[in-house]
Amino acid sequence: MRVKSLAFFGALAASVSHELNNVLAIINEHSGLIDDVAEAARHGVAPDPDKLKRISAKISRQIERGKDLIKRLNRFAHSADREVTSFDLNSLLDDIANLTQRIAGLKGIQIVFKPAAAPIAIESNPFCLQQAVFVCFRLFLSASDKNRLVTISAACPPARPGAREAVAGPIIRLSGAALPERSSERETYEYLEMLLEEINGDLQFVSSEIDGQSILIRLSSASGGAGNFSHEGASNGQG
Amino acid sequence: MMEWMERIKVLLVDDEEELSLVMAERLQLRGFDAEGVTSGEQALERLLEKAFDVAVIDIKMPGIGGLDLMKEIQKKHPDTKVILFTGHGSGAEEEGQDIEGAVDYLVKPVDIDDLTEKIRLAAEA
């Protein structure tokens, strides 16, 4: 499990470093273009202020893109700090979907995250949960053709006032065109089940004509596992 | 730097649109006949319309990857020389990528003078 965790960490870090490198490359070229404009001005070509503004705006956009990536990468790195902590499920899924996007993009597949209307505060193992979601993405990517979408969403069943029975936990749904046969990815499916055990969650596979194949991750509300969730007061404890 | 150079035709292929466009613009300022496209598929279409002396190709792209694109170019447009570039700091050779067939390779971010020199050498090769 430790080796697979490291491989997961490595896969995301490699993908993000590649994207950050692209950000730097674009900034590098635009800064070089400013040099070119300055060099041309030295030879009597008047610099075009609008062009300089456009270049500056493009550099600013890339800086924002880099900042966003680093922020997400930092939260991801800190998700391994503690085994159980409280965090907002929406934010965590947004991060893992975003960080996996380039890996999916290289296969021509787009990941779309549909957040719940309100934050979902849960207490769980964020690193294991992200791994479980990543493994699900990997399963979809291995069996889907390019130009397909993989969607991920989170939902929280509303608590019934006065209900005595334990409230069901939040559900993460990942949907895509196809999943591989269990026999061809046996090890991956087994690893996914191990991760779900670790976070006290359940796994369900659903097939429908509208959504294609779906994986449902049901997080338990039992304490000590993924439990103790609420719609309010969500905090991302991974700072 | 800004002196007139022979109009070497260069096709830049990178899925980062801003990168391929700005690099093409900088090469144009240096006298190259440069264009940028954002996928292997677009590159193959463009190569059917125009003969390029050099194609500068990112290795990692969605769809047709850089290495597959290079093989297609070698098969269908053998006069077009290929330079690969990679986003990884370690470089393509260290990553164990099969870059055989490329005239050269560069690691992003590239130095424009280094790139122009490699393009010029590739065009002459």
- The CATH number assigned to the domain holding B28 equals 3.40.50.2300
Measured between beta carbons, which residues in chain B are less than 8 angstroms from residue A30? 22
Which pLDDT does position A226 carry in this prediction?
Answer: 40
In a domain, B4, yes or no: no
In a domain, B2, yes or no: no
Q: How confident is the model at residue B97 (pLDDT cuts 50, 70, 90)?
A: low
What is d(CA B36, CA B23) in angstroms, rounded to the nearest whole number? 8
CB contact under 8 A, B1 and A39: yes
Task: Identify whether the C-beta of residue B5 lies closer than 8 Å to the C-beta of residue B32.
Answer: yes
In a domain, B65, yes or no: yes
C-beta atoms surrounding B96 within 10 Å: 8
Q: How many domains does chain B have?
A: 1
Measured between beta carbons, which residues in chain B are less than 8 angstroms from residue A105? 15, 62
What is the tens place of the pLDDT at every residue in A109-136? 999 999 998 899 999 999 999 999 999 9
A-chain residue closest to B65, CA distance: A106
Which pLDDT does position A237 carry in this prediction?
Answer: 37
Nearest-neighbour CA in chain A from B87: distance (Å): 6
What is the tens place of the pLDDT at every residue in A66-107? 999 999 999 999 988 888 899 999 999 999 999 999 999 988
Question: Is residue A40's pLDDT more than 60?
Answer: yes
What is d(CA A195, CA A129) in angstroms, rounded to the nearest whole number? 7
Which pLDDT does position A231 carry in this prediction?
Answer: 45
Measured between beta carbons, which residues in chain B are less than 8 angstroms from residue A107? 62
In a domain, B1, yes or no: no
- Encoded tokens for B70: 């290079």
Measured between beta carbons, which residues in chain B are less than 8 angstroms from residue A29? 19, 22-23, 26, 109, 112
What is d(CA A205, CA A192) in angstroms, rounded to the nearest whole number? 12
Is residue B4 less than 8 Å (CB to CB) from chain A? no
What is d(CA B24, CA A13) in angstroms, rounded to the nearest whole number? 30
What is d(CA A172, CA A85) in angstroms, rounded to the nearest whole number? 18
Which pLDDT does position B96 carry in this prediction?
Answer: 56
In a domain, B22, yes or no: yes
Please tell me whether residue A35 adopts helix, strand or coil conformation: helix
CB contact under 8 A, A62 and B18: yes
On the 0-12 / 13-18 / 19+ scale of CB atoms within 10 A, A61 is middle
CB contact under 8 A, B88 and A21: yes
Which pLDDT does position B92 carry in this prediction?
Answer: 52
Task: Identify whether the C-beta of residue B123 lies closer than 8 Å to the C-beta of residue B8.
Answer: yes
Which position has the token pair 């359940």? Answer: A202
What is the tens place of the pLDDT at every residue in B18-70? 999 999 999 999 999 999 999 999 999 999 999 999 999 999 898 899 999 99
Q: How confident is the model at residue A236 (pLDDT cuts 50, 70, 90)?
A: very low
In a domain, B82, yes or no: yes
> Which domain, by its residues, includes B17?
9-124
| B118 contacts: CB under 8 Å, gap ≥ 6 | B83, B103, B104, B106
Which pLDDT does position A23 carry in this prediction?
Answer: 96
What is d(CA A114, CA A93) in angstroms, rounded to the nearest whole number? 9
What is the tens place of the pLDDT at every residue in A145-203? 887 899 999 998 766 666 555 557 899 999 998 899 988 999 999 999 999 998 889 99
In a domain, B25, yes or no: yes
Please tell me whether residue A208 adopts helix, strand or coil conformation: strand
Torsion angle of the four alpha carbons A182, A183, A184, A189, in this order, in degrees rounded to the nearest 10: 40
Task: Identify whether the C-beta of residue A96 lies closer than 8 Å to the C-beta of residue A133.
Answer: yes
- Its ipTM equals 0.88
Which pLDDT does position A111 carry in this prediction?
Answer: 94
pLDDT over 70, % of chain A: 88
What is the tens place of the pLDDT at every residue in B66-89? 999 999 999 999 999 999 988 765
Reference A139, options A179, A190, A106; nearest CA is A179
- Average pLDDT in the A49-67 region? 97
Task: Identify whether the C-beta of residue A83 lies closer than 8 Å to the C-beta of residue A124.
Answer: no
Nearest to B26 among A22, A33, A105 (CB): A33
Interior CA angle at A6 toward A227 and B89, to 5°? 130
In a domain, B3, yes or no: no
